[in-house]
Structure 1
């Protein structure tokens, strides 16, 4: 039996008390944990649905297949400083079945899940999924027909979204338990928690962590490819209840409309008049300036791109605006897209980014220069002009901005290559203080839902020490637009949950992310989804896992393994390149597979 992880445990030493780390659990996400051997080996069964039906009818499960897989990764059972377990995913809404009395939880589905926990005697991360990916159950289609269950764009319509061929549902972030989707989510959470609490203590103690809900964030169109959108963006949530809650949030923050007006420079007579910003001033007529919204309306202009410097010629990147030094530019963000596109670039950690606060910059034309320092000598990486426009849209001064001239290009340094993605040339920006409030409120919505979900888990009896978030960290990807997701508040070290941070590509071994966690006081964290997705250099996967062992991570969940036979898998999807097998070279999946075995052997 494996004791549950709880960060650090005091161990008596002859010289006093000393803290020692619990084992780091490698808990791969496993597809097909309910697929029994009898169905998998029966060649007359050609569909996965029929295979699962046979297993359920015969009261069989996939515990044997899961055990074989885990014993391949770590023969002889869990032991040592690194131990192999697994992640068991339970989609809460998928538990429901339609009965004459309405939608009810199918107890056999819960029992099947708990059977796996009993039979696989290894550490386990239980993923209690209830986010937009919890969309496969029959109840999801019915829920999608009721707008109050869904996040909404400004036109009042829910988004229709897919991800690698998988339909997803943008469920509301409201915590109102009267909303049907919330009623079902939290009812299922309570039911499952009660069943888990009834398991033998030896089984409960094998649970390393419960990850809560999944990736919680606001939504946007083109979910699969649109995370880097900056032009013509659309965001959520403009549902009627969300706009009401936004005004309540403003009341709680400012107390009086006069205080709000004084802060944002508006003239609203009452809070009910305050709009949720949603209109682009370039394209639409505004009733008031407070209605303006775009990717820059909150006063931030990203200066971002990528830099490849294989010979380490550059020691620092700096941002200068109108020839004045602004500050150092962070470097080493994940740019998996560049890594994929350029064969000669051997790491995805090539991104750079500086979020420029332009709220104190005078209206007019300005020039931003990205300058690299090599042995103290400045070189220009990129330059771009942008235009700050006053809220009255008066024509800005036409004077040409001053810049640092006569700089050599950074690409003259041996091996250096670079590109500036943001902003586009002569990007015009309009600061709307109310847009900043709207973005903060959208973050608050995400935070409150995760907080409420955790509270319901605690109320149902799950232990606080094992409750982890399951969050995405958009900022580690320098080409992404973080305001589309609005998760910043959920990543604060003061949050009440243990942090679970998903990591892909360069994020799996990121100096920037380590600094971020240190600055935010994030310790004893887990990684609910983890895949370096690299194939150009040896040792990358092992080094990434070693870095988290050193940092005190409590679990890492490699994405993903499968015990489903190939004949059941259907058409190839982009996500299949991440299936970890010794014969799958896509995304370095074969290398990651071997690295896990090596890592677990220490």
Structure 2
């Protein structure tokens, strides 16, 4: 029966009403889409490159600067900034969506000079050049006052590094040694002590910069769209360059006396009395003062208590990870990895996570997006030997292929030989196809697993140390003339790399709302364009909604950005627009300094967008960004850029 009257003036029947409601909903959604595009256009996405070698203009000594290097400016970096950004394109994109400014990176520990009486004092001229840069450039900017574990050189840094109070302590109770990351020195700075000389120097430098900026007219201060403090902040560990993965060889920080005492206080607040502590941990402590943070490997070291044990698996979670690639698989889809425990299915994950190391070693895979990972809660398994089997479901829907198997032992505290757990037969599957490449990184075969219930508490405390240190410095900005604006973190996201052990960094808490700061994150590879990061951002908002300083705000900043592969203007624009729609206020990426279009300093940052940098498609990204700024409109991308849920690879 036709539910619509012939005259079209009314609707009768339940189906007619449903159709009318559906039509009304479509009209509303259409208007919402128009409103979203209008909102995005009205509030431009700020593109704020971090330009190299600004130190030459900010920190130069003597009466004059290198005028040619600094773009004709003698007491600011504004000339160099303008010369570099003008080479990229117009200040505002032709379509009105983007505005190009800059991130003013100020190295805090290089703002000091040695006085005649041997004291380290602020170089007032250098601090004033920071403010002059903001005043002389008409562009929007983010003020990045950084002091990370990466060395910036100089006598002050060496002096601070020689003071044990400034350093993180390893499991042996001694200060950790200086390390290396690629060509840079790494200082294992402490995040525990808020009163050491390192912290005081950082405070002095931040206050000096803020004092100069706050003397600017309100018109100039309004150019500051955000402040980031310190930069990448987390706990350190030995062999930083190659020791980020899961392993039984596990050393983290901080085991200083101050940190140990703080951990005991943390446990007192959580458990109130020793009886509750012992019930939770299966311990026999007589007082909280007997608790020491876990620091030993039960396999190779003698323990005073079982609770002394720690490794990458002691939290009760076993990362199962690897990579897989199909030579003839559909380019737009990833295969699924099926995980079985004792013959029973427990998980199915897509093989589409970023593995830049695999792509570098095996370029024939064609992309870094071949990784996969599943975290198994083994603490829920019975003691015994358990079988883990891995199979691949092809992207084209063909028969499942068997890839590999491992045995792991869930051990008791007595370390008795584990018995075989009951096994079930695997479902029918074929052998691996000749066109399938894979590797199972973890776990190793015959791995023994020891769950220590004290370890999750230790890691949570370590995370709070990072958060508290960030909050300490954010408060300096909050009490300044810039305090009513946005103060951002500048954090990495270890979980975006399936091969990393995030517990080593102890960074998760600072990615939530507990810092009272806006989220600022550095994204590389698939984290820039894949759906997993978008899903995480949405999940984070739902968890902190209505709680904390900014109540689950959608606003965030991308403090470093590089897809680690070349993109067309259409593809890059789609990625930028997705972040804009999700709440990104700015996106920062590295650029090389240019004067009249020419590089003036030898040596290029591997991650700089630059026409002369072929690393990771950086020349292509520079060209794409320039085309985005000059184009009046952008066609649909030539290949899909993920915008939906990570549930579909």
The corresponding residue for 2:591 is: 560
Distance in 1 of aligned mates of 2:376 and 2:242: 25
Higher mean displacement: 489-498 or 519-528:
489-498
Per the TM alignment, residue 383 of structure 1 is displaced from its structure 2 partner at its CA by: 2.5
Determine which structure has more spread, i.e. the larger CA radius of gyration: 2
2:492 matches 1:476: no
The corresponding residue for 1:75 is: 90
* Structure 1 counterpart of 2:563, from 529, 532, 535: 532
2:578 matches 1:551: no
The corresponding residue for 2:207 is: 190
Distance in 2 of aligned mates of 1:594 and 1:362: 56
Residue deviations 1:239-279 (CA, integer Å, cap 9, x gap): 11111111111111111111111001000111111111111
How many residues are matched?
569
Distance in 1 of aligned mates of 2:110 and 2:465: 24
The corresponding residue for 1:512 is: 532
2:374 matches 1:354: yes
Per the TM alignment, residue 455 of structure 1 is displaced from its structure 2 partner at its CA by: 1.9
The corresponding residue for 2:106 is: 90
The corresponding residue for 1:458 is: 478
The corresponding residue for 2:469 is: 449
2:180 matches 1:158: no
Higher mean displacement: 95-104 or 583-592:
95-104
The corresponding residue for 2:49 is: 28
Q: Tell me, what secondary structure is at the counterpart of 2:105? A: strand
Question: In the TM superposition, what are the counterparts of 1:169-248 in structure 2 within 5 Å?
Answer: 169-174=187-192, 176=194, 178-248=195-265
Could you say what the CA RMSD is over the residues aligned between the two structures, in angstroms?
Answer: 3.0
Per the TM alignment, residue 559 of structure 1 is displaced from its structure 2 partner at its CA by: 2.1
Gaps of 5+ in 1: 1-14, 40-48
Per the TM alignment, residue 227 of structure 1 is displaced from its structure 2 partner at its CA by: 1.7
Question: In the TM superposition, what are the counterparts of 1:395-474 in structure 2 within 5 Å?
Answer: 395-398=417-420, 401-404=423-426, 406-409=428-431, 411=433, 415-474=435-494
The corresponding residue for 1:279 is: 296
Distance in 2 of aligned mates of 1:197 and 1:537: 41
The corresponding residue for 2:510 is: 490
Distance in 2 of aligned mates of 1:334 and 1:92: 33
Distance in 2 of aligned mates of 1:141 and 1:500: 29
The corresponding residue for 1:46 is: none
Question: In the TM superposition, what are the counterparts of 1:299-318 in structure 2 within 5 Å?
Answer: 299-309=316-326, 310-311=329-330, 316-318=336-338
Per the TM alignment, residue 179 of structure 1 is displaced from its structure 2 partner at its CA by: 1.4
Mark the CA change 1:539 to 1:223 in structure 2 (over 3 Å): closer, same or farther: farther
Is the contact between residue 152 and residue 159 of structure 1 (CA under 8 Å) also seen in structure 2? no
Pick 1 or 2: higher relative contact order, CA cutoff 8 A, min separation 6: 1
- With normalisation by structure 2, the TM-score equals 0.81
Distance in 2 of aligned mates of 1:491 and 1:449: 13
Per the TM alignment, residue 343 of structure 1 is displaced from its structure 2 partner at its CA by: 2.1
2:162 matches 1:142: no
Question: In the TM superposition, what are the counterparts of 1:361-372 in structure 2 within 5 Å?
Answer: 361-372=381-392
2:604 matches 1:584: no
Is the contact between residue 32 and residue 62 of structure 1 (CA under 8 Å) also seen in structure 2? no
Per the TM alignment, residue 144 of structure 1 is displaced from its structure 2 partner at its CA by: 1.0
Residue deviations 1:280-338 (CA, integer Å, cap 9, x gap): 11111101111111111111110011122441676643322112222333543221111
2:407 matches 1:385: yes
Per the TM alignment, residue 451 of structure 1 is displaced from its structure 2 partner at its CA by: 2.0
Gaps of 5+ in 2: 1-34, 542-551, 633-649
- With normalisation by structure 1, the TM-score equals 0.87
Distance in 2 of aligned mates of 1:538 and 1:226: 36
Is the contact between residue 566 and residue 620 of structure 2 (CA under 8 Å) also seen in structure 1? yes
Per the TM alignment, residue 92 of structure 1 is displaced from its structure 2 partner at its CA by: 1.6
2:308 matches 1:291: yes
Is the contact between residue 325 and residue 365 of structure 2 (CA under 8 Å) also seen in structure 1? yes
Higher mean displacement: 426-435 or 580-589:
580-589
